[in-house]
Amino acid sequence: MKFKILIFLSFIQIFQAQFTNINIVKEIHSKDKGMVVSAHPLASEAGAKILKMGGNAFDAAIATQFALAVVYPQAGNIGGGGFLVGTTNKGEKFALDYRETAPIKASKDMYLDEKGNANTDLSQNGRLAVGVPGSISGMFYTHKKFGKLPMSALIQPAIDLAEKGFAVTLREANLLNSTKEDFLKHNSHKTAFTKDIPWKQGDLLIQKELANTLKAIQKNGEKGFYEGKNAQFLVDEMKKGNGIISLEDLKNYKTRERKVLSFDYKGNEIISMPLPSSGGPLLAQMLKMASYENLEKYEQNSPEALQIMVEAERRAYADRAEYMGDPDFIEDKTQMLISDEYLKNRWKNFSFEKATPSADVGNIISQPKESEQTTHISIIDKFGNAASITTTLNGLYGSKVVVKGGGYFLNNEMDDFSVKPGVPNMFGAVGGEANSIVPNKRMLSSMTPTIVLKNGKPYIVVGTPGGTTIPTSVFQSIVNAIDFKLSPNFVINAPKFHHQWLPEVIYTEKNFPQHTIKVLEQKNYKFENRNVIGRTEMIFLDENGNAIAVADGRGDDSVAVE
């Protein structure tokens, strides 16, 4: 593989030696071997172990997700939901949607007070914020369709980690400490996540209740979660506060198989998640609009490249707010929105002279606030299959509610609905009717698990967390690789930016080139610093089976090979 290496950033060693018993690996080159990249070394190792046992990418995807639910409780989950985009060695392409749904008792105005004001605390924290979890259903669906090894083997690494415990990383210890008050506020029972003295790196986190839940799932299948004792635990948890999820909600939950969103980008086929994720549609819109200005002519993060990409983001995110939602409840306008006919027209008012005002590309109802855990897994196996999975509780540790008896966090995904037209969610995203709350409807997502195919074979497997910054991060990863031909490490670790129509601000990571910022400030663009944007997990492959897997340098993310 040949790459133009602009700068070599040695993120590889930075986070190593930080642990007592955990080894973080940032980049692995291999040939004809399976690899897993995830947010936590123990989860990547759990997936790689399954590959070593002869499992395929989908088996490894399941084992890694279960392990993340234990070792990465801030976002890994069984109480949340996710999407899997996959390709098989037989050429099948598929998208699994195990997104949470609005409970039967949900209603459009459920987060509005008597005066009609939105109370986003309720959509973001505590029991009323919880959508019906989809992750367990999604993993069983994946297994039924594509699994090779028995499900019980795929759950076992997670059970061991929960039962015996594992050493927390410095990052996780800090997060557990800084969220302690919220855990105490939302849980009257003792959970595994709080202690009398602060967590420190290397402390053992043991989760006995979670181990029991996982054993019940191992024994009884998905019914071990959606019915019987565990379902009752969840419903009892709801009743302790203002929660509305019922036994019927849990019993009725179903994974949906969607048609992948597929489009051509410079001779490569990109497949990504369709609605109810805005991820794939936005990615298609942004890449196509950027190609109208021949983005590859410019340097990465140069003023010209930034301007083209930001203006593509502005137009795409305005469409997100207006048109996107669960396709089972609204008309799916994706094919129109990603057509060249529509996008070329949308691009007409682009000018290198100055910023396009956001009001010129969409209907602004009100100014959103700005704010910001989700996690991504990229996997390939030696058989030629690839899996790209993004899974989430939404916010950090979701609703902060831990199911008593179940030992796991519940999501706060209801906040991804538009609780009121023009009122921003926790990521500053606004929406309207297309994403309003209706019982059983899925809330609009930004998660963008993606696979790029070259000559029909996986070439790039990519995705990231980051709320509304997800599609723009994946956009950057793809152009960094395809247009700017950067080295794999730099593709994901180069300083990032993000724009989302509203607010009219470009967010940049702190090491973003100041020259570019200065040039664009002259053209009416406003910039704000953001600590980190996303955590991308990426695998590159060539036609001879050579692969490079890279884990984002911004976290404890780590690669494992079979």
Alpha-carbon distances, residue 298 vs 294, 302, 304, 473 (angstroms): 8, 7, 7, 18
* Closer residue to ligand DON, CB minimum distance, 407 or 471: 471
Least gap, CB of 457 to ligand DON (angstroms) = 29
Least gap, CB of 2 to ligand DON (angstroms) = 33
* Closer residue to ligand DON, CB minimum distance, 179 or 220: 179
Find the residue with minimal CB distance to ligand DON: 374
Least gap, CB of 455 to ligand DON (angstroms) = 31
Please state the length of the chain. Answer: 562
Helix, strand, coil share of the chain (percent; to 5)? 35, 20, 45
In this structure, how many other beta carbons lie within 10 angstroms of the beta carbon of residue 148?
18
Cα–Cα distance for residue pair 56/507, rounded to 1 Å: 39
Alpha-carbon distances, residue 262 vs 222, 383, 478, 538 (angstroms): 31, 23, 15, 19
* Closer residue to ligand DON, CB minimum distance, 122 or 151: 122
Residue with tokens 């759990």: 46
The one catalytic residue among 88, 374, 392, 469 = 374
* Closer residue to ligand DON, CB minimum distance, 148 or 499: 499
Least gap, CB of 392 to ligand DON (angstroms) = 5
* Binding interface with ligand DON (CB under 6 A): 373-374, 392, 394, 413, 416, 445-447, 465-467, 470
Least gap, CB of 447 to ligand DON (angstroms) = 5
User: Contact, 380 vs 461, CB < 8 A?
Assistant: yes
Least gap, CB of 240 to ligand DON (angstroms) = 24
* Closer residue to ligand DON, CB minimum distance, 224 or 398: 398
* Closer residue to ligand DON, CB minimum distance, 237 or 416: 416
The tokens describing 65, both together, are 């997700």
The edge-to-edge listing of strands for the beta sheet with 256-258 is: 256-258, 93-98, 81-87, 386-392, 374-380, 35-38, 558-561
Least gap, CB of 452 to ligand DON (angstroms) = 21
User: Contact, 98 vs 246, CB < 8 A?
Assistant: no
Longest Cα–Cα distance of the chain, Å, equals 64
User: Contact, 93 vs 461, CB < 8 A?
Assistant: no
Q: Which residues contact 560 (CB under 8 A, 6 or more apart)?
A: 25, 28, 35, 36, 37, 41, 44, 45, 47, 48
* Closer residue to ligand DON, CB minimum distance, 88 or 278: 278
Least gap, CB of 83 to ligand DON (angstroms) = 9
Closest CA to 157 of 110, 218, 100, 115: 218
Active site residue 88: no
* Closer residue to ligand DON, CB minimum distance, 315 or 376: 376
Residue by residue, what is the 3-state secondary structure of 146-192?
HCCCCHHHHHHHHHHHHHHCEECCHHHHHHHHHCHHHHHHHCCCCCC
Would you please indicate which residues are annotated as catalytic (active-site) residues? Answer: 374
